[in-house]
Amino acid sequence: MQYWEAVGKEDIEQIHESACRMLEELGMRIRNPEVVAVLLDAGAKKVDDQTVRIPRELVEQSISRAPETFEVFDRRGGQLGIGGREHHHLIGGTMTEILEYPAWTRRPATLRDVRDLTRIVDALDSVDMAIPMVEGRDAPQGMGEILSCAEVLKNTTKFCWACPVEARANRAFVDMAKVLAGTPDLSSRPIVGLLSTMLPGYEIDVESSHVLLLAAREGLPVILMGGSIGGMQAPATMAGALVMKVAEELAGLCVVQTVRPGSPCLMDFGHIKLDMQTAEIEEAGPDFHLAIAVGAQLARRYGIPSYSCPSSDSKIADFQAGWEMAAGLETAMLAGTHVTVNAATASKCSAASYELLVLHNEMLRHMLRLRRGMVVNEETLAVELQKELGIRGEYLTHPHTLKHIRSSEEYLQKDLFDRSGIRALYEDPCIRAHARWNRILKEHVPGVPAAAQNAVDAVVARYAGG
């Protein structure tokens, strides 16, 4: 398929060249002496004990080492291709509150929410990866991230990402995955992946640098997420903020590919800006979506899979929430982004909604069908059929109609979205969504054996004791 491209090839080269220049001339502050040593050994230039300048040669070498495609696995033997023509979606992560329907009040998330949201994801057909969507605020001190990761792994067999802040929680997550996989080496069949967030302003903090090293040494996929807030911690212009974000992610790429050449990586794209009227971030405007599209172009230029986080600034599941999420997802799919995130998120990714989770799955079904395109062949063109039935022919009872009218290859059969007659009573989609997720929790049983759950609990106990 042809992808939508928001800028020209010369613009992509300018962004790349500018990012390389920033790494060569300004450099990166890295608050981990081990990572500093890795880069210095690879040819970076020391500015001080925490700052290095990264030469263009190391950047280009790292880009060439990163795989253009790779595979991840669920725990039932299935696999997902990352890169190429593939697209996958996962729920949003790291939220701390739940939006309660129908009043749309907010409450602290609990470990039960982590478990229930994961069980719902396990039952959905278009959200094909999981992540700890919220962190249980009722967890014992220091154990929130670890216990949230455990609840995800115990309640789905789908491939799981994790994005804990603390290095200790990332290590625990990997240890849990190892006992589930029954092997100390996850690199050949990764069932989990990690995410490393660089700070805005050309810095990799202690925790993020540990994630980079952990992912590389374990051979696990890692999402490289640069941090830049336009007008606050980055230039106010989209292109300037994108240069910062790309430079930071290329620096992370250099770390991973130096430690373990060929490690699977994804680069994150989008644009968050400061709203001068509210002094808060805005992350669901057309600028964010443009950055997604340009990022997909950059990813193709690099031959590295892309990742993006379309979302909504709306505080409830309303028209704005639907429009902003749809616009972001559709942009990502048409531009060729490989992995998107944030099903079920609202209010600038600060709160999770059970209703939005199942509604976003319905939205994804629509977009994935759109992305597949139209089947054009002798059967679907139906020329002989039209000649047979002639002018004002009757198609309703013909076998051709019976064969194709309910075909999932031809048509998307709406599920939660309204398709009733024009005189039928109106029902808010959130009512149907509320009923759906409650039914899932009553009826769906994730296929995680008790022995696997006990093995995860044993790892948790070890970390709790430490």
Tokens of 155: 């309640």
Radius of gyration of the chain (CA): 23
> Could you give the percent of the chain with pLDDT greater than 70?
100
Mean of the per-residue pLDDT values of the chain: 94
Read off the pLDDT of residues 309-320 as tens digits, 9 standing for 90 and up: 999 999 999 999
At residue 14, the pLDDT reads 98
Region 186-215: what's the mean pLDDT?
95
pLDDT tier for residue 280 given thresholds of 50, 70 and 90: confident
Segment 25-81, tens digit of pLDDT: 999 999 999 999 999 999 999 999 999 999 999 999 999 999 999 999 999 989 999
Write out pLDDT tens, residues 406-428. Answer: 888 888 888 888 888 899 888 88
Per-residue pLDDT, 227: 83
Q: Is the confidence at residue 466, as pLDDT, over 70?
A: no
The one-letter amino acid code at 447 reads: G
Out of 3.30.70.3270, 3.20.20.480, 2.102.10.10, 3.40.50.170, the CATH code matching 63-372+452-462 is 3.20.20.480
Domain boundaries in the chain?
A: 63-372+452-462
Give pLDDT, residue 232.
86
pLDDT grade, residue 99 (50/70/90)? very high
How confident is the model over 96-115, as a mean pLDDT?
A: 96
pLDDT tens digits, one per residue of 107-133: 999 999 999 999 999 999 999 999 999
- Can you give the pLDDT at residue 141? 92
In the predicted structure, residue 396 carries a pLDDT above the cut 70:
yes
Average pLDDT of the segment spanning 153-161: 97
Backbone angles phi, psi at 306, to 5 degrees: -110, 160
Mean pLDDT of the region 158-183: 95
> 232 versus 48: which is more confidently predicted?
48
What percent of the chain is predicted at pLDDT more than 90? 84
Q: Is pLDDT of 196 > 90?
A: yes
pLDDT tens for each residue of 424-454: 888 889 999 999 999 999 999 999 999 999 9
